[in-house]
A = this chain, B = another copy of it.
């Protein structure tokens, strides 16, 4: 409509299909996040996107391909170098909570978590996110072995909160104000991040 009709496809020209492609992807993300991989059907996604199920196959090849496209996660971890050492735990924790508490289009990690518990490929994908984003960030502050160890501890606490608060809705976690939760948990993250850790057994 905007560009001239005679011009060949410019790089910025958006195809008509890109719209439905995005619609499918949005619907898929919502479904995967709410119901997990198994209980999300291509038919339901197509219905939510108001198109035919076969379109999903055309654009994404298979249900697995759709999931792969929908589950791209970027943690967008902040650069902790600019934060005073004593406040890094709280800063990191606030970052996660803010992501989850915020607008409902951003929590792809919940999507991934819900599916990874039963789907092996989703688990590997979550493992990759953990490795490439969290471990790498910590590697800038310490050796690779210690980074892996600290990252594991942080992941256990952060994912545990997400699990209990957003998936299981445990009463002691789900009904607390975000700020209180941050206050309670920040010392833990701080210790995992910068505190002194006990010596490991030989390895």
Contact = CB atoms under 8 A, between A and B. Distances in A.
Interface of A: 35-36, 38-39, 113-114, 116-118, 123, 126-127, 130-131, 135, 148-153, 155-161, 163-165, 167-173, 176-177, 179-180, 183-185, 187-188, 191, 197-198, 200-201, 203
Contact of A157 (B126, B169, B188, B200): B188
Contact of A155 (B35, B123, B173): B173
Nearest to A145: B172
**DSSP class of A's interface residues: helix, strand, loop or mixed?**
helix
Contacts of A180: 198, 200-201
B168 A152 contact: no
A119 to B, nearest CB: 9
